[in-house]
Amino acid sequence: AVRTHPSFDDHEHVSIYRDPKTGVEAIVAIHDTTLGPALGGCRMWSYPSRHEALDDVLRLSRGMTYKNALAGLPHGGGKAVIVADPRTDKSEALFEAFGDHVETLGGRYITAEDVGISDADMEIVARRTGHVRGIRATGLGDPSPYTAWGVFCGIRAAVRHRFRRASLEGLTVAVQGLGHVGGRLAALLHADGARLIVADIDTDRVAEVAARCGADVAPVDRIHAADADLFAPCALGGGLNAATIPEIRAKVVCGAANNQLRTPGDAAALVARDILYAPDYLVNAGGVISIAPERPGMTADEMKERIARIDSTLSFVLKRADAEGVSPAVIADRVAEERIFEAARRKSA
Ligand code: NAD
């Protein structure tokens, strides 16, 4: 089943590990290590089948190759999934066994937390392997504030490019999802002078942000169509699709959510509607940039300065996209591939 998966061949390594004590399965996928050891989180999810777990881990590990390359990190892309229910199946033995498996890979894959995994879980993994990032011993802790900061830097670059403005003053931003990233992004936008329209399925969060930032509230199924200059998707993926794109009124889409485009064709649909799309994995890289350093040392302010390079990377991508008449999503992929290709060429020279 593994070897016949269509995405298997473009990966350097895929291993499936079954914990003998619990019977729980974990899959580690290393997509590409040309730029350095593969860095990417571990997700815990009760996938209905191994095939679906494999689909997810292969897609995500490939995505990390592109994200890390574009962020200028000395890391390739990889990802892990543990096929179990995070509400009921967690145990120390399970995370220790996962740590042992990561250790057998000798540092080619470096893990971190992702959906379904907490700080505390990763601390257990770290008992068995040093190839863990984003825990207290190695860095600055929770990556979400850094992700929000990076998205904000991306929004400023997009606003400069599209509206020729240096701040958000006088512009309206629609924020979809007010969680760890969206809630903090709303505060940054508010402080920079933006008017906000917000939506979340969690009504307490909506009430809190509305009060704190003087935001207007939109229904969750209409936030994409809000009368705003900019739309920031910060909830789940797939929000840019054939149903929503024709209804978007904003001239810029720039947000934290992973995999915002449901299909690659949706990038072209946004170009056709003259909507600037800031590639999700370019602008949401602040979190992975913040966990990448091997040892603590950088202060939070130094890290924010490092992450602010997202501004110049996005500006470069947007200019090239205009010049070539294609979506910034296409250019972002191309820039990442060029960096990997160049590194491979230097290595073999
Ligand atoms: P989170 O779970 O803290 O927040 C998500 C929020 O979206 C929640 O408040 C939830 O109630 C809300 N939501 C869910 N469905 C919704 C809907 N249909 N309409 C409106 N709101 C909805 O997650 P997060 O850490 O803030 O991450 C947000 C997005 O950013 C995710 O797509 C994540 O993959 C991506 N991302 C996060 C980080 C990070 O550092 N946390 C890094 C890179 C990418």
The reply to whether 230 and 264 lie within a common domain is yes
Q: Which of 118, 138, 158 is the last residue of a domain?
A: 138
CA–centroid distance, 200 to ligand 1, in Å, is: 10
The reply to whether 314 and 218 lie within a common domain is yes
The reply to whether 203 and 239 lie within a common domain is yes
Q: Is 246 exposed, middle or buried (0-12, 13-18, 19+ CB in 10 A)?
A: exposed
Please say whether the beta carbons of 278 and 328 come within 8 A. yes
Percentage of the residues of the chain whose pLDDT score is greater than 90: 87
Q: Which atom of ligand 1 lies nearest, measured to the CA of 256?
A: 30
The reply to whether 92 and 180 lie within a common domain is no
Choose the residue to mutate in 67, 147, 260 for probing ligand 1, maximizing ligand atoms within 8 Å of C-beta.
147
- Both tokens assigned to 53: 């777990």
Going from the C-alpha of 259 to that of each of 25, 41, 173, 279, 292, the distances in angstroms are 25, 16, 20, 9, 21
Q: Which atom of ligand 1 lies nearest, measured to the CA of 257?
A: 32
CA–centroid distance, 222 to ligand 1, in Å, is: 17
Going from the C-alpha of 230 to that of each of 126, 174, 189, 224, the distances in angstroms are 41, 6, 11, 10
Q: Rounded distance, CA 332 to CA 320, Å?
A: 10
Range of the domain at 294: 144-338
CA triplet 228, 230, 236: central angle to 5 degrees?
A: 105
> Which of 341, 293, 336, 302 lies closest to 317 in space, CA to CA?
336
pLDDT of residue 265: 95
pLDDT above 90 for 35: yes
Does 201 map to a domain? yes
pLDDT above 60 for 45: yes
Question: Considering only CA atoms, which residue is closest to atom 27 of ligand 1?
Answer: 181
The reply to whether 131 and 188 lie within a common domain is no
| Active-site hit among 21, 67, 79, 251 | 79
pLDDT above 90 for 104: yes
Mean pLDDT (the chain) is 94
pLDDT of residue 297: 79
CA–centroid distance, 21 to ligand 1, in Å, is: 33
Q: Which of 94, 110, 138 is the last residue of a domain?
A: 138
pLDDT of residue 96: 94
Mean pLDDT of 77-86: 96
CATH of the domain at 168: 3.40.50.720
The reply to whether 221 and 244 lie within a common domain is yes
The reply to whether 246 and 318 lie within a common domain is yes
Q: Rounded distance, CA 181 to CA 143, Å?
A: 9
pLDDT category at 6 given cuts 50, 70, 90 is low
Q: Bigger pLDDT: 171 or 349?
A: 171
pLDDT above 90 for 158: yes
pLDDT category at 8 given cuts 50, 70, 90 is low
Q: How many domains are there within the chain?
A: 2
Does 349 map to a domain? no
Active-site residue, 90 included = no
pLDDT above 80 for 188: yes
Mean pLDDT of 271-290: 97
pLDDT of residue 215: 98
Please say whether the beta carbons of 26 and 80 come within 8 A. yes
Token match 């072209």: residue?
A: 268
pLDDT above 60 for 228: yes
pLDDT category at 4 given cuts 50, 70, 90 is low
The 10 Å Cβ neighbour count of residue 343 is 16
Q: Rounded distance, CA 101 to CA 166, Å?
A: 49
Does 69 map to a domain? no
Q: Which of 120, 138, 156 is the last residue of a domain?
A: 138
The reply to whether 32 and 171 lie within a common domain is no
